[in-house]
Structure 1
Protein backbone atom coordinates (compact mmCIF):
# COMPACT_ATOMS: atom_id res chain seq x y z
CA UNK A 1 0.00 0.00 0.00
CA UNK A 2 2.83 2.39 0.94
CA UNK A 3 4.57 1.59 -2.34
CA UNK A 4 1.44 2.37 -4.33
CA UNK A 5 1.00 5.76 -2.61
CA UNK A 6 4.69 6.60 -3.28
CA UNK A 7 4.34 5.80 -7.02
CA UNK A 8 1.18 7.97 -7.28
CA UNK A 9 2.98 10.88 -5.53
CA UNK A 10 5.96 10.73 -7.96
CA UNK A 11 3.63 10.69 -11.00
CA UNK A 12 1.78 13.74 -9.62
CA UNK A 13 5.04 15.70 -9.22
CA UNK A 14 6.21 14.91 -12.77
CA UNK A 15 2.91 16.09 -14.22
CA UNK A 16 3.14 19.36 -12.28
CA UNK A 17 6.66 20.07 -13.67
CA UNK A 18 5.45 19.48 -17.24
CA UNK A 19 2.62 21.93 -16.74
CA UNK A 20 5.05 24.53 -15.29
CA UNK A 21 7.40 24.19 -18.31
CA UNK A 22 4.50 24.51 -20.74
CA UNK A 23 3.35 27.59 -18.91
CA UNK A 24 6.79 29.18 -19.07
CA UNK A 25 7.22 28.57 -22.82
CA UNK A 26 3.76 29.61 -23.80
CA UNK A 27 3.29 33.24 -24.93
CA UNK A 28 1.15 35.26 -22.57
CA UNK A 29 -2.16 36.31 -24.02
CA UNK A 30 -2.33 40.14 -24.42
CA UNK A 31 -5.41 42.30 -24.62
CA UNK A 32 -5.79 44.95 -27.39
CA UNK A 33 -4.37 47.85 -25.34
CA UNK A 34 -1.28 45.82 -24.37
CA UNK A 35 -0.69 44.77 -28.01
CA UNK A 36 -0.84 48.43 -29.17
CA UNK A 37 1.60 49.48 -26.45
CA UNK A 38 4.04 46.72 -27.50
CA UNK A 39 3.84 47.79 -31.16
CA UNK A 40 4.59 51.45 -30.34
CA UNK A 41 7.51 50.35 -28.19
CA UNK A 42 9.01 48.42 -31.13
CA UNK A 43 8.67 51.43 -33.46
CA UNK A 44 10.42 53.69 -30.95
CA UNK A 45 13.23 51.17 -30.55
CA UNK A 46 13.74 50.99 -34.35
CA UNK A 47 13.91 54.79 -34.63
CA UNK A 48 16.80 54.88 -32.15
CA UNK A 49 18.98 52.53 -34.22
CA UNK A 50 22.04 54.29 -35.79
CA UNK A 51 21.55 55.25 -39.43
CA UNK A 52 24.39 54.86 -41.95
CA UNK A 53 25.66 58.32 -42.95
CA UNK A 54 24.58 59.58 -46.36
CA UNK A 55 27.49 61.74 -47.54
CA UNK A 56 26.63 64.02 -50.43
CA UNK A 57 28.76 63.26 -53.45
CA UNK A 58 30.05 59.95 -52.10
CA UNK A 59 30.45 57.22 -54.67
CA UNK A 60 32.15 53.91 -55.21
CA UNK A 61 35.52 54.60 -56.76
CA UNK A 62 36.10 52.47 -59.82
CA UNK A 63 39.44 52.51 -61.53
CA UNK A 64 38.85 53.30 -65.22
CA UNK A 65 39.99 50.74 -67.76
CA UNK A 66 42.55 51.66 -70.42
CA UNK A 67 39.78 51.60 -73.02
CA UNK A 68 37.62 54.02 -71.00
CA UNK A 69 40.55 56.37 -70.45
CA UNK A 70 41.47 56.42 -74.15
CA UNK A 71 37.91 56.94 -75.41
CA UNK A 72 37.03 59.75 -73.02
CA UNK A 73 36.28 62.81 -75.17
CA UNK A 74 36.24 66.50 -74.51
CA UNK A 75 32.42 66.46 -74.44
CA UNK A 76 32.30 63.81 -71.74
CA UNK A 77 34.66 65.88 -69.57
CA UNK A 78 32.18 68.74 -69.59
CA UNK A 79 29.20 66.77 -68.25
CA UNK A 80 30.34 64.43 -65.46
CA UNK A 81 28.08 62.04 -63.62
CA UNK A 82 30.71 60.41 -61.42
CA UNK A 83 32.32 63.18 -59.32
CA UNK A 84 35.69 61.40 -59.51
CA UNK A 85 35.56 61.06 -63.30
CA UNK A 86 38.58 62.76 -64.80
CA UNK A 87 40.82 62.14 -61.78
CA UNK A 88 43.67 60.11 -63.19
CA UNK A 89 43.80 57.06 -60.93
CA UNK A 90 45.62 55.11 -63.64
CA UNK A 91 48.39 57.73 -63.74
CA UNK A 92 48.77 57.59 -59.97
CA UNK A 93 49.03 53.79 -60.12
CA UNK A 94 51.73 54.01 -62.78
CA UNK A 95 53.68 56.51 -60.70
CA UNK A 96 53.47 54.20 -57.72
CA UNK A 97 54.85 51.31 -59.76
CA UNK A 98 57.63 53.44 -61.25
CA UNK A 99 56.35 53.09 -64.83
CA UNK A 100 57.25 55.80 -67.33
CA UNK A 101 54.24 57.95 -68.24
CA UNK A 102 53.38 58.60 -71.86
CA UNK A 103 52.08 62.07 -71.02
CA UNK A 104 53.53 64.53 -68.52
CA UNK A 105 50.74 66.14 -66.47
CA UNK A 106 52.84 67.48 -63.60
CA UNK A 107 51.78 71.01 -64.60
CA UNK A 108 48.31 70.36 -63.18
CA UNK A 109 49.83 70.53 -59.68
CA UNK A 110 51.43 73.87 -60.55
CA UNK A 111 47.97 75.35 -61.28
CA UNK A 112 46.25 77.47 -58.65
CA UNK A 113 42.86 79.05 -58.03
CA UNK A 114 43.46 82.62 -56.86
CA UNK A 115 40.72 84.44 -54.95
CA UNK A 116 41.08 88.20 -54.39
CA UNK A 117 38.81 90.35 -52.23
CA UNK A 118 38.70 94.15 -52.54
CA UNK A 119 38.00 96.93 -50.04
CA UNK A 120 34.54 97.53 -51.54
CA UNK A 121 33.58 93.87 -50.94
CA UNK A 122 34.05 92.70 -54.54
CA UNK A 123 35.54 89.22 -55.04
CA UNK A 124 37.39 87.99 -58.13
CA UNK A 125 38.48 84.42 -58.80
CA UNK A 126 40.85 83.24 -61.49
CA UNK A 127 43.40 80.64 -62.45
CA UNK A 128 47.09 81.18 -61.84
CA UNK A 129 50.36 79.28 -62.19
CA UNK A 130 53.07 78.73 -59.61
CA UNK A 131 56.54 80.01 -60.49
CA UNK A 132 59.77 79.48 -58.58
CA UNK A 133 60.37 80.94 -55.11
CA UNK A 134 56.68 81.08 -54.20
CA UNK A 135 55.72 83.53 -56.97
CA UNK A 136 52.41 83.25 -58.83
CA UNK A 137 51.45 84.51 -62.28
CA UNK A 138 47.85 85.41 -63.15
CA UNK A 139 45.81 87.79 -65.29
CA UNK A 140 46.15 91.46 -64.27
CA UNK A 141 42.41 92.19 -64.34
CA UNK A 142 41.80 89.56 -61.64
CA UNK A 143 43.80 91.45 -59.01
CA UNK A 144 43.19 94.98 -60.32
CA UNK A 145 39.93 96.89 -59.87
CA UNK A 146 40.69 100.46 -61.04
CA UNK A 147 40.79 102.70 -57.95
CA UNK A 148 39.74 100.00 -55.46
CA UNK A 149 42.62 98.40 -53.59
CA UNK A 150 42.71 94.64 -53.04
CA UNK A 151 42.28 93.54 -49.43
CA UNK A 152 43.77 90.04 -49.73
CA UNK A 153 44.51 87.21 -52.15
CA UNK A 154 44.71 83.48 -51.42
CA UNK A 155 46.01 80.60 -53.53
CA UNK A 156 44.38 77.18 -53.47
CA UNK A 157 46.11 74.21 -55.08
CA UNK A 158 45.69 70.46 -55.55
CA UNK A 159 48.39 68.28 -54.06
CA UNK A 160 49.38 65.10 -55.90
CA UNK A 161 48.42 62.99 -52.87
CA UNK A 162 44.69 63.88 -52.93
CA UNK A 163 42.25 65.27 -55.49
CA UNK A 164 40.70 68.13 -53.49
CA UNK A 165 41.82 71.79 -53.40
CA UNK A 166 43.53 73.05 -50.27
CA UNK A 167 44.52 76.59 -49.34
CA UNK A 168 48.30 77.10 -49.58
CA UNK A 169 49.23 80.74 -49.10
CA UNK A 170 48.18 84.33 -48.64
CA UNK A 171 49.49 86.47 -51.51
CA UNK A 172 50.36 90.10 -52.15
CA UNK A 173 50.74 91.89 -55.48
CA UNK A 174 54.36 92.29 -56.54
CA UNK A 175 53.90 93.68 -60.07
CA UNK A 176 51.16 94.61 -62.55
CA UNK A 177 51.45 95.09 -66.30
CA UNK A 178 48.10 96.26 -67.67
CA UNK A 179 49.44 96.37 -71.23
CA UNK A 180 50.52 92.73 -71.23
CA UNK A 181 47.60 91.77 -68.99
CA UNK A 182 49.78 90.00 -66.41
CA UNK A 183 50.30 90.19 -62.66
CA UNK A 184 52.95 88.66 -60.42
CA UNK A 185 51.99 87.84 -56.84
CA UNK A 186 54.31 86.70 -54.07
CA UNK A 187 53.71 84.57 -50.99
CA UNK A 188 53.34 86.88 -48.00
CA UNK A 189 52.21 84.25 -45.47
CA UNK A 190 51.63 80.50 -45.46
CA UNK A 191 48.25 79.02 -44.55
CA UNK A 192 46.66 75.76 -43.50
CA UNK A 193 44.12 73.98 -45.71
CA UNK A 194 41.37 76.39 -44.57
CA UNK A 195 43.31 79.63 -45.31
CA UNK A 196 44.23 80.30 -41.68
CA UNK A 197 47.72 81.82 -41.42
CA UNK A 198 50.33 79.45 -39.97
CA UNK A 199 54.07 78.83 -39.94
CA UNK A 200 55.75 77.41 -43.02
CA UNK A 201 55.85 73.61 -43.02
CA UNK A 202 57.56 70.82 -44.91
CA UNK A 203 54.30 70.48 -46.84
CA UNK A 204 54.66 74.01 -48.25
CA UNK A 205 58.31 73.39 -49.10
CA UNK A 206 57.38 70.22 -50.93
CA UNK A 207 54.70 71.89 -53.09
CA UNK A 208 56.86 74.93 -53.89
CA UNK A 209 59.90 72.80 -54.71
CA UNK A 210 58.10 70.23 -56.92
CA UNK A 211 55.29 72.01 -58.74
CA UNK A 212 56.58 75.30 -60.19
CA UNK A 213 56.09 75.92 -63.92
CA UNK A 214 59.07 76.64 -66.17
CA UNK A 215 58.44 79.75 -68.29
CA UNK A 216 62.00 79.92 -69.67
CA UNK A 217 62.13 76.66 -71.65
CA UNK A 218 63.22 77.19 -75.27
CA UNK A 219 60.77 76.50 -78.08
CA UNK A 220 60.03 77.60 -81.61
CA UNK A 221 57.37 80.32 -81.97
CA UNK A 222 56.27 78.64 -85.22
CA UNK A 223 55.70 75.26 -83.59
CA UNK A 224 52.47 73.59 -84.69
CA UNK A 225 50.21 72.18 -81.97
CA UNK A 226 47.49 69.65 -82.77
CA UNK A 227 45.96 69.77 -79.29
CA UNK A 228 46.77 71.62 -76.09
CA UNK A 229 46.11 70.69 -72.47
CA UNK A 230 44.80 72.83 -69.63
CA UNK A 231 43.27 72.48 -66.19
CA UNK A 232 39.54 72.74 -65.58
CA UNK A 233 37.62 72.44 -62.33
CA UNK A 234 35.73 69.21 -61.62
CA UNK A 235 32.46 68.88 -59.63
CA UNK A 236 34.38 67.88 -56.49
CA UNK A 237 36.63 70.98 -56.48
CA UNK A 238 39.74 69.50 -57.98
CA UNK A 239 41.58 69.93 -61.27
CA UNK A 240 41.16 67.62 -64.21
CA UNK A 241 42.73 67.76 -67.66
CA UNK A 242 40.89 69.39 -70.53
CA UNK A 243 42.03 68.60 -74.06
CA UNK A 244 41.49 71.40 -76.60
CA UNK A 245 42.03 70.81 -80.34
CA UNK A 246 43.80 73.79 -81.89
CA UNK A 247 41.91 74.57 -85.09
CA UNK A 248 43.72 77.68 -86.29
CA UNK A 249 45.80 80.22 -84.34
CA UNK A 250 46.95 79.90 -80.74
CA UNK A 251 45.39 83.31 -80.01
CA UNK A 252 41.92 81.84 -80.64
CA UNK A 253 42.19 79.97 -77.32
CA UNK A 254 41.78 83.27 -75.49
CA UNK A 255 38.11 83.18 -76.41
CA UNK A 256 37.42 79.68 -75.12
CA UNK A 257 34.55 80.20 -72.67
CA UNK A 258 34.35 78.72 -69.18
CA UNK A 259 31.80 78.11 -66.44
CA UNK A 260 34.39 77.51 -63.71
CA UNK A 261 33.96 80.92 -62.08
CA UNK A 262 30.54 82.53 -61.96
CA UNK A 263 30.39 85.95 -63.59
CA UNK A 264 33.41 85.44 -65.85
CA UNK A 265 33.07 84.35 -69.43
CA UNK A 266 36.77 83.65 -70.00
CA UNK A 267 39.26 81.58 -67.97
CA UNK A 268 41.65 84.40 -67.03
CA UNK A 269 45.03 83.21 -65.77
CA UNK A 270 44.70 79.73 -67.28
CA UNK A 271 47.81 78.13 -68.76
CA UNK A 272 47.90 75.94 -71.89
CA UNK A 273 50.44 73.13 -72.23
CA UNK A 274 51.80 70.73 -74.83
CA UNK A 275 51.54 66.97 -74.43
CA UNK A 276 55.00 66.81 -72.87
CA UNK A 277 54.07 69.45 -70.28
CA UNK A 278 55.65 72.61 -71.73
CA UNK A 279 53.79 75.88 -71.10
CA UNK A 280 52.72 77.57 -74.35
CA UNK A 281 50.87 80.60 -72.99
CA UNK A 282 48.52 82.07 -70.38
CA UNK A 283 45.18 83.86 -70.78
CA UNK A 284 45.73 87.50 -69.82
CA UNK A 285 43.48 90.53 -70.31
CA UNK A 286 43.63 94.23 -71.02
CA UNK A 287 41.96 96.88 -68.87
CA UNK A 288 38.62 96.25 -70.60
CA UNK A 289 38.72 92.54 -69.66
CA UNK A 290 39.36 91.62 -73.29
CA UNK A 291 41.20 88.26 -73.18
CA UNK A 292 44.47 87.56 -74.97
CA UNK A 293 47.02 84.74 -75.06
CA UNK A 294 50.32 85.84 -73.53
CA UNK A 295 52.97 83.55 -74.93
CA UNK A 296 55.73 82.07 -72.78
CA UNK A 297 58.41 84.21 -74.40
CA UNK A 298 56.50 87.36 -73.43
CA UNK A 299 56.07 86.05 -69.86
CA UNK A 300 59.81 85.44 -69.46
CA UNK A 301 60.55 88.92 -70.91
CA UNK A 302 58.15 90.44 -68.38
CA UNK A 303 59.91 88.70 -65.48
CA UNK A 304 63.32 89.77 -66.76
CA UNK A 305 62.16 93.40 -67.00
CA UNK A 306 61.05 93.19 -63.36
CA UNK A 307 64.48 91.84 -62.51
CA UNK A 308 66.21 94.72 -64.37
CA UNK A 309 64.06 97.23 -62.48
CA UNK A 310 64.97 95.43 -59.22
CA UNK A 311 61.30 94.71 -58.50
CA UNK A 312 62.14 91.02 -58.51
CA UNK A 313 65.58 90.01 -57.23
CA UNK A 314 65.15 86.24 -57.19
CA UNK A 315 68.24 84.18 -57.85
CA UNK A 316 66.67 82.13 -60.67
CA UNK A 317 66.06 85.34 -62.64
CA UNK A 318 69.66 86.43 -62.13
CA UNK A 319 70.72 83.18 -63.79
CA UNK A 320 68.08 82.82 -66.52
CA UNK A 321 67.61 86.40 -67.70
CA UNK A 322 70.14 87.54 -70.31
CA UNK A 323 72.61 90.05 -68.86
CA UNK A 324 72.60 93.42 -70.59
CA UNK A 325 75.85 94.88 -71.80
CA UNK A 326 77.34 97.81 -69.87
CA UNK A 327 76.91 100.22 -72.80
CA UNK A 328 73.29 99.25 -73.25
CA UNK A 329 72.63 99.88 -69.55
CA UNK A 330 74.20 103.34 -69.70
CA UNK A 331 72.15 104.32 -72.73
CA UNK A 332 68.96 103.41 -70.90
CA UNK A 333 69.98 105.35 -67.78
Structure 2
Protein backbone atom coordinates (compact mmCIF):
# COMPACT_ATOMS: atom_id res chain seq x y z
CA UNK A 1 0.00 0.00 0.00
CA UNK A 2 1.48 3.32 -1.05
CA UNK A 3 1.27 6.47 1.01
CA UNK A 4 -1.82 8.14 -0.42
CA UNK A 5 -2.39 11.78 -1.21
CA UNK A 6 -5.09 11.69 1.41
CA UNK A 7 -2.48 10.91 4.06
CA UNK A 8 -0.34 13.80 2.90
CA UNK A 9 -3.19 16.31 2.89
CA UNK A 10 -5.06 15.08 5.98
CA UNK A 11 -2.31 14.12 8.40
CA UNK A 12 1.08 15.42 7.36
CA UNK A 13 -0.09 19.01 7.88
CA UNK A 14 -0.22 18.16 11.57
CA UNK A 15 2.76 15.85 11.99
CA UNK A 16 6.04 17.51 12.92
CA UNK A 17 8.51 16.25 10.32
CA UNK A 18 11.62 15.21 12.24
CA UNK A 19 14.28 12.54 12.07
CA UNK A 20 13.89 9.53 14.36
CA UNK A 21 16.15 6.75 15.59
CA UNK A 22 14.78 3.60 17.18
CA UNK A 23 11.80 3.50 19.48
CA UNK A 24 10.46 6.98 20.03
CA UNK A 25 7.61 9.17 21.13
CA UNK A 26 6.14 11.00 18.16
CA UNK A 27 5.47 14.64 19.08
CA UNK A 28 2.07 16.14 18.28
CA UNK A 29 0.36 19.49 18.72
CA UNK A 30 -3.26 18.85 19.62
CA UNK A 31 -5.84 19.43 22.30
CA UNK A 32 -9.38 18.51 23.25
CA UNK A 33 -12.09 20.59 21.60
CA UNK A 34 -15.79 20.43 22.43
CA UNK A 35 -17.08 22.42 19.44
CA UNK A 36 -20.11 21.03 17.61
CA UNK A 37 -20.58 18.16 20.05
CA UNK A 38 -24.19 17.23 20.69
CA UNK A 39 -24.84 14.64 23.37
CA UNK A 40 -28.38 13.60 24.27
CA UNK A 41 -27.39 12.80 27.83
CA UNK A 42 -24.14 12.82 29.77
CA UNK A 43 -23.78 9.70 31.89
CA UNK A 44 -21.78 10.12 35.11
CA UNK A 45 -18.36 8.44 34.91
CA UNK A 46 -18.03 5.02 36.48
CA UNK A 47 -14.60 5.97 37.81
CA UNK A 48 -14.26 9.75 38.38
CA UNK A 49 -10.53 9.34 39.05
CA UNK A 50 -9.81 8.47 35.41
CA UNK A 51 -9.02 11.36 33.02
CA UNK A 52 -11.32 11.86 30.04
CA UNK A 53 -8.56 11.05 27.54
CA UNK A 54 -8.49 7.38 28.58
CA UNK A 55 -11.79 6.96 26.72
CA UNK A 56 -10.16 8.03 23.44
CA UNK A 57 -7.72 5.10 23.60
CA UNK A 58 -8.38 1.86 21.72
CA UNK A 59 -6.76 -1.54 21.99
CA UNK A 60 -6.32 -2.95 18.48
CA UNK A 61 -6.67 -6.64 17.64
CA UNK A 62 -4.99 -7.04 14.25
CA UNK A 63 -5.24 -10.20 12.11
CA UNK A 64 -3.20 -11.04 8.98
CA UNK A 65 -3.87 -13.58 6.22
CA UNK A 66 -0.85 -15.72 7.18
CA UNK A 67 -2.26 -16.28 10.68
CA UNK A 68 -0.15 -13.58 12.32
CA UNK A 69 -1.86 -11.68 15.14
CA UNK A 70 -0.79 -8.38 16.69
CA UNK A 71 -2.02 -6.01 19.38
CA UNK A 72 -1.35 -2.32 19.78
CA UNK A 73 -2.82 0.98 20.86
CA UNK A 74 -4.66 3.54 18.73
CA UNK A 75 -6.09 6.97 19.52
CA UNK A 76 -9.51 8.12 18.34
CA UNK A 77 -9.60 11.22 16.13
CA UNK A 78 -12.48 13.12 14.54
CA UNK A 79 -14.59 11.65 11.72
CA UNK A 80 -14.21 8.07 12.91
CA UNK A 81 -10.48 7.87 12.31
CA UNK A 82 -7.71 6.52 14.52
CA UNK A 83 -3.96 7.11 14.60
CA UNK A 84 -1.68 4.17 15.39
CA UNK A 85 1.87 2.91 15.04
CA UNK A 86 2.77 1.47 11.64
CA UNK A 87 4.49 -1.64 13.01
CA UNK A 88 1.20 -2.81 14.50
CA UNK A 89 -0.42 -2.69 11.04
CA UNK A 90 2.28 -4.46 9.02
CA UNK A 91 3.69 -7.99 9.26
CA UNK A 92 5.93 -10.03 6.96
CA UNK A 93 5.05 -7.95 3.91
CA UNK A 94 1.33 -8.11 4.66
CA UNK A 95 -1.31 -5.57 5.60
CA UNK A 96 -4.19 -6.48 7.95
CA UNK A 97 -7.03 -8.77 6.98
CA UNK A 98 -9.14 -7.59 9.92
CA UNK A 99 -8.75 -4.90 12.61
CA UNK A 100 -10.97 -4.76 15.69
CA UNK A 101 -10.94 -1.87 18.17
CA UNK A 102 -11.83 -2.30 21.84
CA UNK A 103 -12.39 0.73 24.06
CA UNK A 104 -13.36 1.68 27.60
CA UNK A 105 -16.35 3.97 28.07
CA UNK A 106 -17.13 5.87 31.26
CA UNK A 107 -20.28 3.73 31.62
CA UNK A 108 -18.40 0.41 31.41
CA UNK A 109 -15.22 -0.59 33.23
CA UNK A 110 -13.94 -3.37 30.96
CA UNK A 111 -12.80 -2.89 27.38
CA UNK A 112 -15.64 -3.58 24.95
CA UNK A 113 -15.55 -4.23 21.22
CA UNK A 114 -16.45 -0.98 19.44
CA UNK A 115 -15.70 -1.15 15.74
CA UNK A 116 -14.01 -2.81 12.83
CA UNK A 117 -11.38 -0.60 11.18
CA UNK A 118 -9.56 -0.56 7.88
CA UNK A 119 -6.12 0.79 7.08
CA UNK A 120 -6.52 4.05 5.19
CA UNK A 121 -2.86 5.07 4.91
CA UNK A 122 0.52 4.13 6.35
CA UNK A 123 3.93 5.83 6.55
CA UNK A 124 6.49 3.28 7.74
CA UNK A 125 9.32 5.82 7.51
CA UNK A 126 7.62 7.96 10.15
CA UNK A 127 6.18 4.97 12.01
CA UNK A 128 2.58 6.18 11.68
CA UNK A 129 -0.68 4.85 10.27
CA UNK A 130 -4.21 6.18 9.78
CA UNK A 131 -7.24 3.95 10.29
CA UNK A 132 -10.90 4.56 9.48
CA UNK A 133 -14.03 3.04 11.00
CA UNK A 134 -15.46 0.40 8.65
CA UNK A 135 -18.45 -0.67 10.76
CA UNK A 136 -19.58 -0.81 14.38
CA UNK A 137 -19.58 -3.89 16.63
CA UNK A 138 -21.48 -5.10 19.69
CA UNK A 139 -19.95 -6.42 22.92
CA UNK A 140 -19.20 -9.75 21.21
CA UNK A 141 -17.64 -8.08 18.15
CA UNK A 142 -20.62 -8.89 15.92
CA UNK A 143 -21.50 -6.28 13.29
CA UNK A 144 -24.33 -3.90 14.23
CA UNK A 145 -25.72 -0.43 13.52
CA UNK A 146 -24.22 2.57 15.29
CA UNK A 147 -25.74 2.94 18.78
CA UNK A 148 -25.91 5.75 21.31
CA UNK A 149 -22.95 4.11 23.02
CA UNK A 150 -20.81 4.34 19.87
CA UNK A 151 -21.95 7.87 19.02
CA UNK A 152 -21.21 9.04 22.56
CA UNK A 153 -17.61 7.84 22.48
CA UNK A 154 -16.95 9.22 18.99
CA UNK A 155 -18.50 12.62 19.75
CA UNK A 156 -17.25 13.19 23.27
CA UNK A 157 -13.76 11.71 23.40
CA UNK A 158 -12.20 12.13 19.93
CA UNK A 159 -8.88 13.99 20.02
CA UNK A 160 -8.51 17.04 17.77
CA UNK A 161 -5.20 18.34 16.45
CA UNK A 162 -4.49 22.00 17.13
CA UNK A 163 -2.09 24.15 15.11
CA UNK A 164 -0.85 26.17 18.10
CA UNK A 165 1.53 24.14 20.27
CA UNK A 166 0.67 23.74 23.93
CA UNK A 167 -0.93 27.05 24.88
CA UNK A 168 -1.81 25.76 28.37
CA UNK A 169 0.75 27.11 30.84
CA UNK A 170 0.72 23.93 32.93
CA UNK A 171 1.83 21.73 30.05
CA UNK A 172 5.66 22.21 30.08
CA UNK A 173 5.90 21.29 33.77
CA UNK A 174 3.66 18.26 33.46
CA UNK A 175 4.57 14.60 33.62
CA UNK A 176 3.73 12.36 30.67
CA UNK A 177 0.77 10.08 31.32
CA UNK A 178 -0.14 6.93 29.40
CA UNK A 179 -2.64 4.03 29.59
CA UNK A 180 -1.65 0.52 30.62
CA UNK A 181 -3.82 -2.57 30.25
CA UNK A 182 -4.38 -4.18 33.66
CA UNK A 183 -5.51 -7.65 34.74
CA UNK A 184 -9.12 -6.49 34.89
CA UNK A 185 -9.12 -5.87 31.11
CA UNK A 186 -9.34 -2.12 31.59
CA UNK A 187 -6.92 0.80 31.45
CA UNK A 188 -5.00 2.16 34.40
CA UNK A 189 -2.96 5.37 34.26
CA UNK A 190 0.85 5.36 34.47
CA UNK A 191 3.51 8.08 34.29
CA UNK A 192 6.94 8.13 32.65
CA UNK A 193 10.29 9.42 33.86
CA UNK A 194 10.19 11.87 30.95
CA UNK A 195 8.48 15.24 31.40
CA UNK A 196 6.63 17.25 28.80
CA UNK A 197 9.40 19.86 29.04
CA UNK A 198 11.99 17.27 27.96
CA UNK A 199 9.80 16.25 25.06
CA UNK A 200 9.34 19.84 23.92
CA UNK A 201 13.05 20.65 24.22
CA UNK A 202 14.07 17.66 22.12
CA UNK A 203 12.93 19.40 18.89
CA UNK A 204 12.77 15.96 17.29
CA UNK A 205 11.41 12.53 18.02
CA UNK A 206 12.48 11.58 21.52
CA UNK A 207 14.56 8.40 21.39
CA UNK A 208 13.89 5.96 24.18
CA UNK A 209 16.10 3.19 25.53
CA UNK A 210 15.19 -0.42 26.31
CA UNK A 211 13.79 0.53 29.72
CA UNK A 212 10.88 2.10 27.84
CA UNK A 213 9.56 -1.38 26.97
CA UNK A 214 10.50 -2.99 30.28
CA UNK A 215 7.55 -4.71 31.92
CA UNK A 216 5.26 -4.04 28.98
CA UNK A 217 5.03 -6.25 25.91
CA UNK A 218 2.29 -3.98 24.59
CA UNK A 219 3.63 -0.54 23.66
CA UNK A 220 3.16 0.12 19.91
CA UNK A 221 0.97 3.18 19.37
CA UNK A 222 0.72 3.88 23.09
CA UNK A 223 -0.43 7.51 23.48
CA UNK A 224 1.00 10.07 25.91
CA UNK A 225 -0.87 12.97 27.48
CA UNK A 226 -0.05 15.97 29.64
CA UNK A 227 -1.55 16.62 33.06
CA UNK A 228 -4.29 18.74 31.51
CA UNK A 229 -5.20 16.14 28.89
CA UNK A 230 -3.30 17.37 25.83
CA UNK A 231 -2.32 14.61 23.39
CA UNK A 232 1.48 14.90 23.28
CA UNK A 233 2.49 11.95 21.14
CA UNK A 234 2.64 8.18 20.81
CA UNK A 235 5.15 5.36 20.92
CA UNK A 236 6.39 4.06 17.59
CA UNK A 237 9.52 2.96 15.75
CA UNK A 238 10.92 3.89 12.37
CA UNK A 239 11.26 1.76 9.25
CA UNK A 240 15.02 1.35 9.57
CA UNK A 241 14.61 -0.32 12.96
CA UNK A 242 11.73 -2.65 12.07
CA UNK A 243 12.79 -6.25 11.47
CA UNK A 244 10.36 -7.11 8.67
In the alignment, the residues of structure 2 paired with residue 231 and residue 218 of structure 1 have an alpha-carbon distance, to the nearest angstrom, of 25
Task: Give the SS at the match of 2:97.
Answer: strand
Query: How much has 1:121 moved relative to structure 2?
Result: 0.2
Is structure 2 residue 234 aligned with structure 1 residue 282? yes
Label 1:143 to 1:231 Cα distance change in 2 as closer, same or farther (>3 A).
Answer: same
**Structure 2 matches for 1:177-196, cutoff 5 A?**
177-196=123-142
User: Which consecutive residues of structure 2, in runs of 5 or more, have no partner in the other structure?
Assistant: 1-43, 200-205
User: Which consecutive residues of structure 1, in runs of 5 or more, have no partner in the other structure?
Assistant: 1-90, 96-102, 291-333
RMSD of aligned alpha carbons: 2.6
Is structure 2 residue 174 aligned with structure 1 residue 233? no
**Structure 2 matches for 1:232-251, cutoff 5 A?**
232-246=180-194, 249-250=198-199, 251=206
Task: Give the SS at the match of 1:246.
Answer: strand
TM-score of the two chains, using structure 2 as the length reference: 0.69
Which of the pair is proportionally richer in helix? 1
Is structure 2 residue 213 aligned with structure 1 residue 257? yes
In the alignment, the residues of structure 2 paired with residue 124 and residue 192 of structure 1 have an alpha-carbon distance, to the nearest angstrom, of 21
Q: 1:254·1:283 contact (CA, 8 Å) conserved in 2?
A: no
Is structure 2 residue 159 aligned with structure 1 residue 213? yes
Structure 1 counterpart of 2:14: none
Q: 1:233·1:260 contact (CA, 8 Å) conserved in 2?
A: no
Q: How many residues in Structure 1 have an aligned counterpart in Structure 2?
A: 188
Query: How much has 1:149 moved relative to structure 2?
Result: 3.3
Instruction: Specify which structure has the bigger relative contact order, considering alpha-carbon pairs within 8 angstroms and separated by 6 or more residues.
Output: 2
User: What do the CA deviations read for 1:267-288 (whole angstroms, capped 9, x no partner)?
Assistant: 1101111100001111122225
Structure 2 counterpart of 1:114: 60
Which of the pair is proportionally richer in strand? 2
Query: How much has 1:245 moved relative to structure 2?
Result: 3.0
Task: Give the SS at the match of 2:146.
Answer: coil
Q: Pick the structure with greater CA Rg.
A: 1
Is structure 2 residue 117 aligned with structure 1 residue 171? yes
Query: How much has 1:145 moved relative to structure 2?
Result: 1.8
TM-score of the two chains, using structure 1 as the length reference: 0.52
Q: 1:142·1:268 contact (CA, 8 Å) conserved in 2?
A: yes
Q: 2:100·2:113 contact (CA, 8 Å) conserved in 1?
A: yes
User: After TM superposition, where is structure 1 displaced by more than 3 Å over at least 4 residues in a row?
Assistant: 91-95, 223-226, 252-255, 258-261
**Structure 2 matches for 1:113-132, cutoff 5 A?**
113-132=59-78
Query: How much has 1:220 moved relative to structure 2?
Result: 5.0
In the alignment, the residues of structure 2 paired with residue 258 and residue 129 of structure 1 have an alpha-carbon distance, to the nearest angstrom, of 22
Q: 1:109·1:159 contact (CA, 8 Å) conserved in 2?
A: yes
